[in-house]
Every structure is written in C-alpha cells, then in structure tokens.
Amino acid sequence: MNLIEKHYPSVKTWELETSAKQMNNHHFYEKMGYQIFFKTEDEYGYEKRTGAVEQVPDIQNWSKENTEIYKVNMAEVLQQQ
C-alpha cells in the first residue's frame, strides 16, 4: 500500500472497497491508516486522505473534466519496480 501511495504522490484521497467477510483486510487497511466511510452487510468502503484537505468543491458546477481518477493494480505497479 505504501509503495502505491508513494508511486502516485499527487493523489490526495484513496478509496477502496472490500468484502465484509474479509476480516484480515479490515485489520490491514485500518493499520495502514484507512478509515471506514461506508459499510453494508456485504461490503466495506475505506478512505485515506494523504494530502491537505482542500475546500469542498461546488457540486452543482462539478464536471468530469476537472477530476483525475486512477485505477491502480498493485501487481502491475510491483512488476514495474
């Protein structure tokens, strides 16, 4: 997790989801500084803020063009090292 976070230093907020049944994942993510931001019977969502929290944008004027979204595969990042 630290390797991926360091590989993408411009990312301010990391979000991930895991099965509610994967208790080892929950312990690991919380140990890495992630906090639960949603949970259902089947799934948990975790979030970690790594940068300064910026002012909340005006949602009414939001557009995809002003947003960067990264989908990271940890295995691919490790192979590049």
Cα torsion for 73, 1, 53, 27, to the nearest 10°? 120
Q: Which residues of the chain have pLDDT under 70?
A: 52-72, 74, 77-78, 81
What is the pLDDT at residue 62?
59
pLDDT of residue 5: 86
- The chain-wide mean pLDDT, for the chain, equals 80
Specify the pLDDT at position 81.
Answer: 65
pTM: 0.62
User: 47: closest CA among 19, 6, 76, 12?
Assistant: 12
Q: In sequence order, which residues have a C-beta less than 8 Å from that of residue 30 and are 6 or more positions away?
A: 46
Q: What confidence tens digit (pLDDT) does each residue in 31-49 have?
A: 999 999 999 999 999 999 8
**Whole-angstrom distance, CA of residue 27 vs CA of residue 29:** 6
